[in-house]
């Protein structure tokens, strides 16, 4: 059975994985301080105004970021360098964390959820 709280989830990780997850958490907290953080789908997720914003998860060799299919599509060219799916991207621990890209994805999703962008 998976973690039922963010604290329990974070206790499963250490080192670089934990540092990267916490970096993403900090970025979300800055870009969307009103977003609610919780465990969803076995990952850390945030909802903004009741709508999913993004999810992040730790794995052996990467962290996964899930910006929903709409958020992912907006950055498809930049995500092409990474292993990715329709709404997910794997950010390898062996490469520098693309913090600028992650920040832009979060900010895009905040604007999208807040209705500031056309559908």
Q: Tell me the per-residue pLDDT of 51-92, one tens digit each, with 9 for 90 and over.
A: 999 999 999 999 999 988 788 888 889 998 899 888 889 999
The runs of H, that is alpha helices, within the chain are 6-10, 15-31, 68-74, 76-79, 99-113
Tokens encoding 72: 């992912």
Top-tier CATH class for 6-111: alpha beta
Q: Where are the domains of the chain?
A: 6-111
- CB 14 within 8 Å of CB 74: no
CA pair distance 78, 50, nearest whole angstrom: 28
Region label for 24, one of left (φ > 0), alpha (ψ between -120 and 50) or beta (otherwise): alpha
What is the model's pTM?
Answer: 0.91
CA pair distance 28, 35, nearest whole angstrom: 8
The answer, yes or no, to whether residue 119 has pLDDT greater than 80, is no
- CB 76 within 8 Å of CB 39: no
Q: Average pLDDT of 86-108?
A: 94
């Amino acid at each position: 059975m998976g973690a039922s709280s963010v604290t329990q989830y974070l206790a499963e990780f250490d080192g670089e994985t934990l540092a990267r997850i916490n970096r993403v958490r900090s970025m979300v907290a800055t870009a969307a301080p009103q977003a609610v953080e919780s465990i969803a789908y076995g990952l850390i997720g945030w909802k903004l105004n009741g709508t999913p914003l993004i999810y992040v998860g730790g794995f052996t060799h990467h962290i996964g970021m899930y910006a929903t299919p709409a958020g992912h599509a907006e950055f498809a060219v930049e995500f092409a360098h990474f292993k990715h799916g329709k709404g997910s991207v794997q950010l390898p621990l062996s490469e520098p964390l693309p913090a600028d890209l992650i920040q832009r994805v979060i900010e895009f999703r905040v604007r999208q959820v807040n209705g500031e962008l056309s559908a």
